[in-house]
């Protein structure tokens, strides 16, 4: 259970630190990776959902045995993002600067956390 707790605390805090600034970087994203974003609702919607998942990671870290069923959607969330980036790269729809390595690492760590988070029998 300790491994799962550490993994989800690190993932949640790291995600909060990385995703929160995106709320203030709308124009910068369009300048650094053209073309500019034309649908701000999609951008802010993605940031909001991603931020909500970071809070879910923190909640899971507080009691990994109790929130163990939520770990499966966490793995799927990371697989979904990694697959989308990979598909976009294969179709030349995004640049090499778009990285899914952190999502892949988190997906692997979340998967390894599942068997370690079982509550011991009394």
76 in any annotated domain = yes
- Cis? peptide before 35, omega within 30° of 0: yes
97 in any annotated domain = yes
122 in any annotated domain = no
Contact criterion met (CB below 8 Å) for 1 and 116: yes
35 in any annotated domain = yes
Could you report the per-residue pLDDT of 17-26, keeping only the tens digit for each?
999 998 998 8
pTM: 0.79
CA gap 62, 21 in Å, rounded: 25
121 in any annotated domain = no
CA gap 119, 77 in Å, rounded: 24
Using pLDDT thresholds of 50, 70 and 90, give the confidence band for residue 47: very high
**Encoding tokens for residue 88?**
């976009």
39 in any annotated domain = yes
User: Can you tell me the mean pLDDT for 31-37?
Assistant: 76
**Domain tally for the chain?**
1
The parent domain of residue 63 ranges over 2-116
Per-residue buried b or exposed e for 28-48, using 16+ beta carbons within 10 Å of the residue's own CB: eeeeeeeeeeeeeeebeeebe
Alpha helices, DSSP H, located in the chain: 2-19, 26-32, 40-62, 71-90, 101-116
């Amino acid at each position: 259970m300790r491994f799962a707790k550490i993994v989800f605390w690190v993932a949640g805090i790291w995600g909060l630190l990385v995703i929160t600034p995106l709320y203030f970087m709308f124009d910068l994203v369009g300048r650094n990776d053209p073309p500019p974003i034309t649908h701000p609702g999609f951008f802010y919607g993605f940031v909001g959902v991603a931020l909500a998942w970071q809070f879910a990671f923190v909640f899971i870290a507080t009691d990994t045995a109790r929130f163990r069923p939520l770990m499966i959607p966490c793995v799927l969330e990371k697989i979904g993002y990694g697959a989308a980036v990979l598909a976009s790269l294969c179709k030349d729809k995004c640049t090499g600067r778009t990285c899914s390595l952190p999502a892949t690492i988190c997906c692997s760590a979340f998967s390894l956390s599942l068997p370690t988070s079982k509550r011991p029998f009394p």
